[in-house]
Amino acid sequence: MHSSQIGGLNDSKIRNKELYALLEKHRVAIDREERKKILVDIQKIAVDQAYWIPLFTGKQYYIVNNRVQEAELYSLHGLALQDSWVNN
Spell out the residues 6+ positions from residue 54 whose beta carbon is closer than 8 angstroms to its own: 47
Residue boundaries of the structural domains of the chain: 3-48, 56-88
Q: What is the pLDDT of residue 84?
A: 93
pLDDT of residue 69: 94
| DSSP letter string, 57-84 | ---------TTEES-EEETTTEEE-TT-
Give residue 31's pLDDT. 93
Pick the residue with more confidence: 3 or 43?
Answer: 43
Conformational region of residue 85, where left means phi above 0, alpha means psi within -120 to 50, and beta covers everything else: beta
pLDDT at 6: 61
User: Which tens digits make up the pLDDT trace of 20-77?
Assistant: 889 889 989 999 999 999 999 988 988 887 776 767 777 888 889 999 999 998 877 7
Rounded CA-CA distance 65/58 in Å is: 23
